[in-house]
Structure 1
Amino acid sequence: MAVTVLAGAFVVAALLLPSKPESLKFAAFTRLPMEALTFAVLLAVLPRRPRLTATWIGGITLGVLTLLNLLDIGFQEYLGRGFDVILDWPLFPDGYSYLEDTLGGTGAVGALVAVLVIAAALLLVPVLALVRLGGLMARHRATTTRTVLVLSLAWMICTALGLRIDGVPVAAERTVHTVQARNDSIRETLRDEQEFARTAGVDAFGGTPGSELVPDLRGKDMIFTFIESYGRTALEDPEIAPGVEQTLADSTKALTEAGFQAKSGWLTSATYGAGSWLGHSTFLSGLWVDNQSRYRTVTTSDRLTLTKAFQKTGDWDTVGVMPGVQKGWPEQRFHGLDKVYNAFQLGYQGPKFSWSTMPDQYTLEAYQQLEHSKKRDKPLMSEIILTSSHQPWAPIPKMVGWDELGNGSVFDAIEKAGSDPKDVIADSTLSKEGYGQSIQYSLTSLTQFLERYGTDDTVLVFLGDHQPISRVSGDHASRDVPCTVVAKDPAVLDKIADWGWSDGLRPAQDAPVWKMSSFRDRFLTAYGSTPHPKS
């Protein structure tokens, strides 16, 4: 009897399982699922063989839907959106790599085995549960029929009266709606691929000659820098903001004393929690790149990116510093970079800090030694990705003397003394604390680099790629990230005076908020580029 009750409870719970973390509350599982009533009638009236076939088909279907709901919950937690059954499968190898960096090889293997066992169980258990329940209902057909009639009447009454428990309707059609939503999502994904390909082919600056691109920045050393997970939360969450605000205030003062001025605003990222490459490509391409299909389409096209515009002029050397890249990177062409330094080409011999291959301070010093300090015939345009503020925010590097960086082994003791990522990864309080500290570290590294090595011709544009995951930013957080332009030459900031951005490194709360995809065209226009549409 106990096994039968558990089987029934499992089936009902699987039918009612929400797909969003915030909906995981007791009331969600006190509902009356219409699908259970319908299937109960079917199992009660079918002969034995057709009944077994129905239970296998129904059980596997229920198991698949349960797995997809759990994937939705995980993706909502980390990416602020549900799981896309067409596009998101390639993300799992990256997720496993993240687990290796966070939990170690053994921990990652253990997590993978656990996931596979759970997935297999979720496919098998519903089948066994339905086989047991189907047999019971067939043996007690009359009782089953009366019970289903009573519950169906109750379901209709609850529907008619709109009865709710803790805001959740008692009468449920969740599985039907879920299947329909999945179907609609697949259709939308396939339709979006075609529409985006057409949109990406239209480019306001695609036909602009190099001589007519960014003429007002000729002679400037341009640096575009993405700071991992640097989002609005860092400046507005009461537990995180005080430390970050103080870092920005101190850095603004130091840069002002060094002759630099800055303007800052907000950009709404195309991604949330992770998927940094989607934010990077959105910012650079002027297109809204919010999924893998769009990313593949735009990065394999001849779209003029913001960084490629400098390469196209022929008046800049272009270089990328990508400490997070640890394999072949065909996107170099899309970014318009003559040379790229990956994680293995920056000379680092210190410890990894979880996912981050090296501290930001080292990345910037390596860039200085390898490229920025060199005498050259042309100015330099650089794209730099800073990774120290990548989750799980443990252990976190600390600033050392710039002259002490060497090959990075100076960070050995700092890494060993830092927090264990396994202690932080699932703890919201520790995650918030580590996140705030990591953002402070990244900002300090970047602004000290500029103070130390910047010149009268240096122009720095830095921004966050996306907000941190909901464990830090909270449910329903915005997707806004800060973006800042820093320069010594007042003419550079005069060109964007009409943007309405705030003075300094910290955008005001009411500063303009633009979609990240709008930045490319605004920037190119502000610095004198002439549109020549291409389609």
Structure 2
Amino acid sequence: MRQAAVALLIVLAINLLLVAPEWWMPYTAFPYPWLAAETLVIVGLLMMLPAGWARWIAPPLAALLLISVALALSDLGTGLALGRPMNLLIDLPLAASVEHLLRGAIGGLLAWLTLGAGALVITALMFGLSRGLQHLALPGRRLPLSLLGVALVGVGLLLNHYRDAWPIGLAVDSPALIRFSDQAERMHRTASEREAFASALAASERPVERSMERLDGRDVILAFIESYGVTMLRDARYRATGEAALADLSDSLESAGLSAVTTTLRSPVQGGQSWLAHGSALSGRWISNQIRYDLFLDASGPSLIRDFDAAGYETAALMPAITDPWPAGRQWGYDQIHDHGRIDYAGPPLNWVTMPDQYTWHYFQTAIREPARAPLFAELALISSHAPWTPILPIVDWNAVTDGSVFHRWADAGPSPGNVWSDGERVRRHYARAVDYALRTAGEWAARDLGDGVLILLGDHQPAPLITGDDASREVPVHIIARDESLLAEFRRLGFRSGVMPQGRGIGTLADLRGYLLAVFDDGQENPVPDPASVKATVAPSRH
């Protein structure tokens, strides 16, 4: 009797392990299964086989179960963080990014302890699951038990076959089978997409001589604000903060004789992987995953960097968050790359954020723009609005910024990341305040130092679904700021709206931005003018 009770508990534990991740899965129309058909198949298989065979196959079965659970948890994690399910073909390199983010948020020692604890949990689960399955392989079993095993396998297979039919679909699912089949389908689709994208790059547009005549030698700055999406303006929880920040931005510009036009464009990503958004804007290609990014760089295709280089511009990238070697920067073809190691910053890191935006703008002006010997095209990554959104700094006197040591007083300011992220409302408030800081800082810099240059200030992507909700748009605001009204009038002709507040509907994707810029800046040349009606539709991930 005791042995039967233990066996029942093991079966219930296996079933719970399979179905529990489904209860929180973002990508499902049926989130609450209570029976996994695979549980019946596994238990039945162990009951019908000879005990010796059953003990041998228990560890491989345990490994398959753990892999399916890992796939489910990965889908859950990428769903919450990036707004999409996980794809093994493109997402394995993100493991290093997770470790990097952990180090920045909680420190190196705690990050490694957390990862080590996770490895121990996985090892313990593998051992416990193997032993539990072996416990079901009872020696000297009678014929009725073997027949019961055959019946369980048959019932499990039937339930799997009819899992979408009523009323079976009200309670039964096949989580492990779904995880493996969905992952295989995603990888196959991605491999096919890779071939198609590579073929498109091989037939890439021919190089065109650029003059950027309309710019008349003005500097052009492409500045991405981390996690700045339309959520700041359309979600009732953030709208007041976002509108106030844009009103302040408008006032700063107006005081300096600057004007703006604005639209929204759809980003290929959400919650992370900012470089794919940057790559889409720079290349004029829809770069929605790492494979496309790598293929584009290997092909050395046309991009804004090469466009401006051909027009005699000096090109620079300012990337304060890049702390490791960045070979992609050389592949893009920048004349100068200012990553974290090259930036002369004497202030403190602020959790994951290596330096505040105010210093990034100061460094750009004094170390890159002022020494430039030719018109400048620069890409900036502004990271103060990157998670974990603590601490939130005030804007200090710009003359006091100097080497950044002035920011030491805020090295330990504000709540810890753990404290912020322990409460959903608190983390959302901090997100809004971080974007508010980024917008106001950009506005103050532009009023002080933009002069006759052109600033393209835009978001890279929406924040994670935790902040936006599951069904939020992936559009990001794009502001083009300049003193030359005739230049801005050309953008209005293409669908941009006067001022800093975007219209309700966007006019394309970030992949269209290059075409819009060339259509105005390089007037008279052969340029890829986007069709606003050709906005790409978001492909919803399939569940079954």
TM-score by length of 1: 0.91
Query: Hey, what's the Cα distance between the residues in 2 that align with 1:489 and 1:441?
Result: 27
Bigger drift between 388-397 and 364-373 goes to 364-373
With over 3 angstroms needed to count, the CA separation of the structure-2 counterparts of 1:300 and 1:425, relative to structure 1, is farther
Counterpart of 2:454 in structure 1 is 459
1:431-470 equivalent positions in 2, closer than 5 A: 431-455=427-451, 457-470=452-465
After the TM superposition, which residues 358-437 of structure 1 pair with which residues of structure 2 at under 5 Å, given as runs? 358-374=355-371, 376=373, 378-437=374-433
Task: Name the Cα RMSD after superposition.
Answer: 2.7
- 5 Å matches for 1:310-321? 310-314=308-312, 316-321=313-318
Amino acid of the structure 2 residue aligned with 1:178: R
Q: In structure 2, do the counterparts of structure 1 residues 188 and 426 end up closer, same or farther at CA, with 3 Å as the change threshold?
A: farther
Aligned counterparts of 1:188 and 1:153: Cα–Cα separation in 2 = 27
Aligned twin of 2:189: 188
The CA deviation at 1:336 is 3.3
Cα gap change, 1:439/1:308 in structure 2, threshold over 3 Å: closer, same or farther?
A: same
Flag the 1:531–1:41 CA change in 2: closer, same or farther, 3 A. same
2:48/2:149 contact within 8 Å kept = no
User: Could you tell me how far apart the structure 2 residues matched to 1:403 and 1:65 are?
Assistant: 56
Shift of 1:169: 2.6
In structure 2, the partner of 1:331 is 328
Corresponding residue number in structure 1 for 2:540: none
Structure 2 residue 251 is the aligned partner of structure 1 residue 250: no
Residues 153 and 286 of structure 1, relative CA distance in 2, 3 Å threshold: closer
Aligned counterparts of 2:384 and 2:25: Cα–Cα separation in 1: 29
Q: Could you say what secondary structure the match of 2:470 adopts?
A: coil
Paired position in structure 1 for 2:261: 263
- Cα distance, 1:322 vs structure 2: 1.2
Distance change in 2, residues 1:20/1:358 (3 Å): farther
The answer to whether the 8 A contact 1:353-1:394 is kept is yes
Partners of 1:305 and 1:298 lie apart in 2 by 10
- Counterpart of 1:55 in structure 2 is 58
CA distance 1:502–1:122, change in 2 (3 Å): farther
SS at match of 1:135: coil
- 2:73 corresponds to which residue? 70
- Give, in whole Å, the separation in 1 of the partners of 2:242 and 2:26: 32
Take 2:160 and 2:228, find their aligned partners in 1: how far apart are those partners? 50
Q: Does 1:169 align with 2:165?
A: no
1:15 aligned to 2:18? yes
Distance 1:154 1:252, change over 3 A: same
Deviation at 1:425, TM superposition (A): 2.9
Letter in 2 for 1:141: L
Give the CA deviation at 1:198.
1.3
Work out the CA distance in 2 between the residues paired with 1:330 and 1:291. 18
Distance 2:333 2:160 in 1: 62
**What is the one-letter code of the residue matched to 1:406?**
T
Q: Distance in 1 between matches of 2:85 and 2:111?
A: 23
Counterpart-to-counterpart distance in 2, 1:313 and 1:530: 12
Distance 1:247 1:391 in 2: 19
In structure 2, the residue matched to 1:210 is: 210
Q: 1:171 to 1:332 in 2, by over 3 A?
A: closer
The farther-off stretch of 243-252 and 40-49 is 40-49
Q: Give 1:208's aligned amino acid.
A: V
Measure, in 2, the Cα distance between the counterparts of 1:381 and 1:17: 51
How far does residue 253 in structure 1 lie from its aligned partner after superposition?
Answer: 2.1
8 Å CA contact retained: 1:12, 1:33: yes
Q: 2:375 and 2:324 mapped to 1: Cα distance?
A: 29
1:228 to 226, 229, 237: 226
Q: Name which of structure 1's ranges 353-362 and 247-256 shifts more when overlaid on structure 2.
A: 247-256
Task: Return closer, same or farther for 1:145/1:51 CA change in 2, 3 Å cut-off.
Answer: closer
**Alignment equivalent of 2:344, drawn from 339, 343, 347:** 347
Match for 2:38: what amino acid? Answer: E
User: Pick from 298, 301, 304: which aligns with 2:302?
Assistant: 304
> How far apart, CA to CA, are the structure 1 residues paired with 2:316 and 2:246?
27
Partners in 2 of 1:404 and 1:374 — Cα distance?
A: 21
CA distance in 2, matches of 1:29, 1:20: 5
Matched residue of 2:280: which SS? helix
What secondary structure is seen at the aligned counterpart in 2 of 1:351? Answer: coil
Q: Is the 8 A contact 1:44 1:137 kept in 2?
A: no
* Gapped regions of structure 2 (runs ≥ 5): 529-544
Q: In structure 1, the residue corresponding to 2:508 is in which secondary structure?
A: strand
In structure 1, distance between residues paired with 2:388 and 2:162: 45
Which of these residues, 448, 473, 478, is aligned with residue 478 of structure 1?
473
Question: What SS does the aligned partner of 2:380 have?
Answer: strand
Aligned twin of 1:96: 99
1:59–1:405 CA distance, 2 compared to 1 (3 A)? same
Q: In structure 2, the residue corresponding to 1:62 is in which secondary structure? A: helix
Amino acid at match of 2:516: R
Please tell me the residue identity of whatever aligns with 1:311.
D
Matches within 5 A, 1:20-31: 21-22=24-25, 28=31, 30-31=33-34
Tell me the distance in 1 between the aligned counterparts of 2:516 and 2:400.
Answer: 40
Equivalent residue, structure 2, for 1:491 = 486
1:113 aligned to 2:108? Answer: no
**1:318 counterpart SS class:** strand
- Displacement of 1:426: 4.0
Tell me the distance in 2 between the aligned counterparts of 1:160 and 1:339: 57
Give the C-alpha shift of residue 142 in structure 1: 5.9
Alignment-derived partner of residue 8 in structure 2:
5
Q: For the residues of structure 1 that align with 2:95 and 2:309, how far apart are their CA atoms? A: 34
Q: Point out where structure 1 has 5 or more consecutive residues left out of the alignment.
A: none
Identity of aligned residues (%): 29
C-alpha distance after superposition, 1:295-353 (max 9, x if no partner): 11112221111132101222x12222111121222222343321121113222111111
Contact 2:260 2:479 in 1 (8 A): yes
| Shift of residue 71, structure 1, vs aligned partner | 1.2
Q: Any conservation in 2 of the 1:43–1:138 contact (CA below 8 Å)?
A: no
Cα pair distance change 1:283/1:122, threshold 3 Å = farther
Question: Contact 1:31–1:171 at 8 Å: present in 2 too?
Answer: yes
Alpha-carbon separation, structure 2, partners of 1:172 and 1:320:
49
In the aligned structure 2, how far is the partner of 1:121 from the partner of 1:518? Answer: 50
- Counterpart in 2 of 1:84? 87
Per-residue deviation, 1:420: 1.0
